[in-house]
Chains A and B, each alone.
Chain A
Amino acid sequence: MNIYPGWLNLSICDKRWLTLLASSMLLCACQPQLPQTVRSGLVYCSEGSPESFNPQLVTSGTTIDAISQQLYDRLLDIDAQTGELQPGLAQSWHVSNNGLSYRFVLQDNVQFHQTEYFQPSRALSAEDVVFTFNRIMQTTHPFHYQGGGNYPFFQSVDWAGLVNSVTAADHRTVHFELSRPDSSFLSNLATDFAAILSSEYADQLLSNGQLSQIDSHPVGTGPFRFKEYQKDVLIRYYRHRNYWRELAKPEQLVFDIVPNNARRMAKLFTHECDVVAFPRVAELGLISQRPDVDIQESTSMNVGFWAFNTTKPPFDNVKVRQALALAINREAILQAVYFGHATAAHSILPPTSWAYNADLPTLPYDPEKARELLTEAGYAQGLSMDIWAMPVQRLYNPNALKMAEMMQADLARIGVRATVVSYEWNSFRRKLSAGEHDSVLIGWSADNADPDNFFRPLLSCSAADTGTNRANWCDQNFDRLISQALLTADQKQRRSYYMAAQQYVAEQMPLLSIAHSQRFQAISSDISGVAINPYGGIALATAAKDSQ
């Protein structure tokens, strides 16, 4: 139905002021019809601003959702159903018998984005892959220190120690030489972090001296190309017309950045958004009653936890950590914060992982025992501590502030005076990496199906250096277990190492795992084809609006 009089659609220039007048009368008319080209655009309401446009530099799920699947491709992809590896930019790959040498053959004729700031002259070649990974590994690389020189995911899996060299055999073949066998190597290449950048673009920036643009004005091979970004307001992408796979359905893709939950829902109900990230689980029932909105649910590999800063007394004392863990009523948290849409966590690994240790004892809620342990540790009179609660909503923790408030009340029962601390997200992460916290409520979403993706980034010594290890926990026993697990490709053997590692974490309690959450997406019912990968970000290239 068209509610505007026909003449409005005619040439408008001379009737501009009439339009103004008419529009003021029509303001209160019902939902307006958008013009065709605008209507084919898709609006995704996301929960926060991206930190960078280069997935190599980040770990946050928000950033990955916004940039990885939309702008970039990876050498390998993960099948969303089976979790198995699939060809991406590499059409085939080959591993040497000793597990030390990998060869990838690239797809033919993959085009990079044409943008206002860069016109590619050639298709994807092996050089681009070499450039992408050398930037991470070589500290002498001109781009290595752009964006701070931190590659948190790659550092957490000790990439520089693992990969000896990346070389181009010819323009379509890339060789990776490893220093030791690593069973998680291919999975890591398939993560959203391992996006392939353009070396031609880097050369252009180098000759213009605009190195910093590489992470703010991205160029990739993905289904969408970058158009503009206004911090805390929106990101605008347009369709990549020369995409090597099926062209993206939406002509335009806008990430509308709406950190507040209620507002995001409001925008869904008023159809200002087509897809809404993380609707409040409390409201799922309400949303499902609406005919114009659908709920999409998917399992996701994630864990929300409470990490203690183990370098700070008294949290270096394992008894204190155990006492604090025993004092928390996690059942209540699952109800109040996750509204029952999450499973209680006993390990940092979700039960869906093949390495999950089902024999771990369930940690009870036992304030009495907690008090005893505190007394044993020499804190009979209690202690004061900070609980840092992240200011943003994440899959693994939809409301950290509320959780912290509940824990505050729980801890008061064992004589621990907790203060809830929160900063704006950027400062929060900065201060967190600097280790200023006593304890923090945060979590992790998996990037691939490999269990190593939980252990190393979260609790290894190398991750303690790079900051993804929020407990700052560096334990040689634990590190030995998880590195041994990587040296073998035999899944049975690996599992036994990981079982032991989970057991050890449960004893040492550097962090208290709280919940594994389901991922939800609220979608306007005229949208179809939104794909969520359990191991990573959302892909919107296949999403289409049904024509009305």
Chain B
Amino acid sequence: MTLYLLRRLFLLAFVFLGLSLLAFSLAYLFPGDVLQNFTGLTTMSTEHAAELQAEYRLDSGYLQQYIAYLQRIFNGNWGLSFSSNQPVLHEIQLLLPATLELAAYALLMSFFIGIPLGILAAIKPEGIISRIISALAVAGFSIPVFWWALLLIMLFSLGLGWLPTAGRVGVLYEIPHVTGFMLLDILLSNSQHQSEALIDALRHLLLPTLVLATFPTTVMIRFTRDSMLDVWEQSYIKTARAKGLNRAQVLYRHGLRNALLPVIRQIGLQFSTLITLAMITEVIFSWPGLGRWLIDSIYQRNYPAIQAGLLVISTLVISVNMLTEILHTLFNPLARKR
């Protein structure tokens, strides 16, 4: 087990090395001046430029430059954004919680809706309920997320006027930025409108979460259903059936635990999907998160921001993936052998 953990950690370090190398080389791959791409300074005097050249080791070989780059990454000196002239790292710190908040709620939603529906669909695979669930799952799997979001906005915001279309909370509520997680910040704030703000924030959260959760929910339904049906084929279930338990009882007592084990692995995979879809969702709902920021940066050719954004997002995705895989292995000794 220790060996396994060590191997995973080694792989993680290796991956980070690769990612940082990629991020580093981006400064060269992007058009424009390398020094500008690294620092984010668009105007600098010649002396200042020379000073920075030396500091960034641009006069020495690539290896030294890369080492200097790594040092800067760990020191938190990630350069400035072309468009706002603010430190990129600072911007990411402000925006990341918004994305994580959205993704986390969507993940929860997809689990709470997807798993029960998947189980329901597995109980009678040829039944009418199962067919309806499967049909919904295929539909949800095929719908383009941006279009789905627009449809929901058209219906719930513009048609019925029930829900707001954009943002995290009504702009008239002044919520101080403490953790960056809106609900938490509202609870921490001492505003006299706390409860109203909370309701308002939840109303803002509902549509984006629903949109974002759609795709992972359908994946969860299909996954849980297939996993249940697979377990159903196992001999220990047949034994249980032979003992005289009915289908639902068997599923509950013997099937569920074994079928849901692989679901842990899904958390990681779903998380990466969520982060990607969150980019689109954020764009549509004007959600001030990392995804929207990265898309804007790509559009604006804001190279320091793209560089940092890619590094953060891919590191995040891969770390979460690796973590859930390790968790999965901890719970499931069979997986360790592989």
**Of the 9-residue stretches B47-55, B196-204, B255-263, B269-277, which lies at the interface with chain A?**
B196-204
Whether the pair B164, A272 counts as a contact (CB closer than 8 A) is yes
Q: Chain A residues with Cβ under 8 A from B194's Cβ? A: 12-13, 16
Known contacts A236-B174, A252-B172, A427-B301: does B165 contact A272 (CB below 8 Å)? Answer: yes
Contacting residues of chain B (84-132) with chain A, CB-CB under 8 angstroms:
84, 86
Q: Taking the complex as formed, is A358 at the interface, i.e. its CB lies under 8 A from any CB of chain B?
A: no
Contacting residues of chain B (121-169) with chain A, CB-CB under 8 angstroms:
153, 157-158, 161-167
Whether the pair B174, A32 counts as a contact (CB closer than 8 A) is no
Q: Chain A residues with Cβ under 8 A from B161's Cβ? A: 30-31, 269-271
Q: Taking the complex as formed, is B286 at the interface, i.e. its CB lies under 8 A from any CB of chain A?
A: yes
Whether the pair B158, A266 counts as a contact (CB closer than 8 A) is yes
Whether the pair B195, A8 counts as a contact (CB closer than 8 A) is yes
B144 CB, min distance to chain A CBs, angstroms: 18
Whether the pair B202, A27 counts as a contact (CB closer than 8 A) is yes
Q: Chain A residues with Cβ under 8 A from B162's Cβ? A: 27-30
Whether the pair B193, A32 counts as a contact (CB closer than 8 A) is no
Chief secondary structure at chain A's binding surface: mixed
Residues of B within 8 A of A (CB): 42, 82-84, 86, 153, 157-158, 161-167, 170-174, 187, 192-196, 198-200, 202-203, 206, 286, 288, 296, 299-302
Residues of A within 8 A of B (CB): 8, 12-13, 15-16, 19-20, 23-24, 26-32, 34-35, 37-38, 41, 43, 227-228, 230-234, 236, 252, 254, 256, 258, 263, 266-267, 269-272, 423-424, 426-427, 430
- How many pairs, one residue from A and one from B, have CB atoms within 8 Å of each other in the complex? 117
Q: Chain A residues with Cβ under 8 A from B301's Cβ? A: 423-424, 427
Q: Chain B residues with Cβ under 8 A from A256's Cβ? A: 167, 171
Known contacts A34-B196, A266-B153: does B288 contact A430 (CB below 8 Å)? Answer: no
Contact of A43 among B163, B171, B198 (CB under 8 A): B171
Whether the pair B299, A424 counts as a contact (CB closer than 8 A) is yes
Chief secondary structure at chain B's binding surface: loop
Whether the pair B198, A23 counts as a contact (CB closer than 8 A) is yes
17 contacts between A and B (CB under 8 A): A16-B194, A16-B195, A20-B202, A27-B203, A27-B206, A31-B161, A38-B170, A38-B193, A228-B174, A254-B171, A254-B172, A256-B167, A266-B153, A269-B158, A270-B164, A272-B167, A272-B170
B94 CB, min distance to chain A CBs, angstroms: 8
Contact of A12 among B167, B171, B195, B302 (CB under 8 A): B195
A146 CB, min distance to chain B CBs, angstroms: 13
Q: Chain A residues with Cβ under 8 A from B202's Cβ? A: 20, 23-24, 27
The 9 closest A-B pairs by CB, nearest first: A424-B300, A23-B199, A41-B172, A12-B195, A254-B171, A266-B165, A38-B172, A19-B195, A256-B171
Whether the pair A430, B42 counts as a contact (CB closer than 8 A) is yes
The chain A residue with its CB closest to the CB of B94 is: A230
Q: Chain B residues with Cβ under 8 A from A23's Cβ? A: 195, 198-199, 202-203
Q: Chain A residues with Cβ under 8 A from B86's Cβ? A: 231
Whether the pair A427, B158 counts as a contact (CB closer than 8 A) is no
